Structures are given as structure tokens and as C-alpha cells.
Amino acid sequence: MNIDPIDPVSRPFFGGRVSGIDITRPLPPEQVAAIDRGMDQFGVLVFHGQHFHDETQIAFSRNFGALEEASGDLNWGQKRRIESPFVNDISNLDDDNRVLAVADRKRLFGLGNRLWHSDSSFKALPAKYSLLSARHIPGAGGNTEFADMRAAYDALDAETKALLADLICEHSQLYSRGILGFDDFTEQDRIRFKPVLQRLVRTHPSTGRKSLFLASHAGAIIGWPVPEARALLRDLVEQATERRFVYAHAWRQWDLVMWDNRATMHRACPFDASQVRDMHRTTVASEQSTMEEAA
């Protein structure tokens, strides 16, 4: 197995391509450990030609920790297209595998992925790794972009680092969807998506590196007036997603892309809504909340 930087010239430390390994089969512990080290180094790893189905994807994902359930999905607790509770449905398909209508509620909720975010930052125990398998992709568009929140933190001046050091944010899908004007939530959704607290600056448990824990789900800072908090969060997201910090992944069918939500943000890019895009995501939960992490 080899891991090489995808862009050795402009982003040698962010985004790695893994070759010489079939991750759809059971792996020896040394190879799992090598992938973990690659994640610590590159934040995002790309594997081409991995013919996953849900069971094999779940088995590979479990190498990295306990999986979280797809309880952030809008239709959680109802009939779902995908059977396993450990698989997030990142597609534009209905339960009969037909492309959703442009104004379908599930599709509009899913457009929240177009905003920069870190997966499950709206859960008290947010995501560690996300693993996204491209089962079917559109003919054009539909890239996923990743931004390096470690490099973004490092680039802040000392004054800003001091200002942010101890800030605590509230994260909720009600905030992120609200940005796009989606407010078609039931009373139950509102209870389920009640805001959770997250540190704004976090320290990576294995590398010790600090990073900005930002997401469109962040809608308030404890002790700050809301407009002032949102203005700061906007500025930070803008700076942290400058093109120099971003890797844009152009998908091939059967790619598996794995990212560390503790050190990155990502967003979906647009594509022709009449074409099928079917991606299945498994998610490894963090071992501790950001509130338990060292300051």
C-alpha cells in the first residue's frame, strides 16, 4: 500500500491518494494502522476502484471505531431507502430509486450539504471519520470540496487565536438549513435537532494539532450577541476555505473517500438535478465530545 499527496506542489500535507490495496476485504491490523496514520497526516484519503456494498463498507469502517447511526437524516425513524441504520443516504433518490422531484423536501434538506460543514457537529458526540462511497455519479459536476482546518488555524494571527481559544459554539441543523431558507421542520424535528455545544478550537487527540471546528451548523457563540457571533463565524469560514486550503475531489464511480471531521470541513457542489447521484456514507463516532477535549 502506498499513500501519496494528491497535489504534492501546492498541498503536500492535505489530501492523499491510497493505492495498492483492496479495502473491501478484511485487513490486517498493520494496514488499518497505516491508514490511520495517513488520515492523521493528510486529513482526507482517496481510494479508487473499491466495489463496496453496504455490508463491506460497514465492515471496513468499523476498523476505525464505533459507527454512528444516520439519525441526522430527515427521515430517521421512518421507512428509508437504505436498510442499514449505519448508512447515511447521500443520494437524490426516493425509496423506489427514482430521482427526487426538484422541490422534494428530502432533496431540499439535503442541499444543506452544499454549505461548508463538519459531519454531525450537531450531535453532542460529533463524527470522527466519514467514509463516502460513490455508487453512481452524474456525468458532470457533483464534486466534493474539502478544506484543511489545521492549516486554517495555523494561518490565524496571534490575536485571533487568543480571541477564539476558549469560545464555545452552539451547533444545530436548524441553523444550517435556516441559512438556505429551509424551515420545513416538524415539532419533533425541532426537538431532535436541539443545539449542542462544541469548542471552536479543538486539539486533535492523536496529532496534538489545533484546528478550527467550524460548520454551517454553528449558529451561536455562548455569551455573545447572535449577530456578532454569526458575523465572526462567517469571517472565519471565509478565511478557512480560501482556495489554498481546499482540495476539490472529482468523483469516479467506486471511489471511497474518507475524511477526518475533526480536522476538515467539506461541502457538496452542484450537478444536474435530473441525473442520478448515489453515495453511501458510513460515519465513525468520535471517542469524546469537544467539550471534554483539552482546551
Sign of CA dihedral 222, 224, 227, 233: negative
Task: Cell numbers for 132, please give them.
Answer: 463516502
Question: How many residues of this chain bind ligand OGA (CB under 6 A)?
Answer: 10
Q: Side chain identity at 211, as an amino acid letter? A: S
Across the strands, what pairs with 12? none
Instruction: Quickly count: other Cβ atoms within 10 Å of residue 227's Cβ.
Output: 8
Residues between 97 and 126 that touch Mn ion (CB under 5 A): 119
Q: Which residue in the set 68, 73, 89, 119 belongs to the binding site for ligand OGA (CB under 6 A)? A: 119
Of the residues 156, 229, 268, 285, which one makes contact with ligand OGA according to CB under 6 A: 268
130: contact with ligand OGA by CB under 6 A? yes
Geometric angle at alpha carbon 147, from 61 and 252, rounded to 5°? 55
Nearest to 260 by CA among 51, 13, 11, 41: 41
Which of Mn ion, ligand OGA, none has residue 132 at its interface (CB below 5 to 8 Å by kind)? Answer: ligand OGA
User: Does 281 help bind ligand OGA (rule: CB under 6 A)?
Assistant: yes
Burial class (CB in 10 A: 0-12, 13-18, 19+), 52: buried
Should residue 89 be labelled a site residue for Mn ion when binding is judged by CB under 5 A? no
Angle at 134 between CA 150 and CA 24, to 5 degrees: 90
Binders of ligand OGA among residues 54 to 113 (CB under 6 A) are: 90, 113
Which does residue 118 bind out of Mn ion, ligand OGA, none, counting CB within 5 to 8 angstroms by kind?
none
For ligand OGA, the binding residues in 147-176 under the rule CB under 6 A are none
Give CA–CA dist 129/68, Å, rounded: 10
- The site that binds Mn ion (CB under 5 A) totals a number of residues, namely 1
Task: State the cell numbers at 151.
Answer: 492549516
Smaller CB distance to Mn ion: residue 119 or 170?
Answer: 119
Rounded alpha-carbon distances, angstroms, from residue 83 to 72, 125, 162: 15, 23, 46
* CB-based contact 217:176 (threshold 8 Å): yes
* 144 part of the interface to ligand OGA, by CB under 6 A: yes
Q: Which of 134, 103, 79, 179 is nearest to 277 (CA)?
A: 134
Q: Counting contacts by CB under 6 A, is residue 132 touching ligand OGA?
A: yes
Which residue is nearest to ligand OGA, using beta carbons?
268
* Cβ-based nearer residue to Mn ion, 119 or 278: 119
Binding mask 202-231 for Mn ion (x = CB under 5 A): ------------------------------
Told to check if 279 binds ligand OGA by CB under 6 A, we report: yes
Binding site for Mn ion (CB under 5 A): 119
Binding site for ligand OGA (CB under 6 A): 90, 113, 119, 130, 132, 144, 266, 268, 279, 281
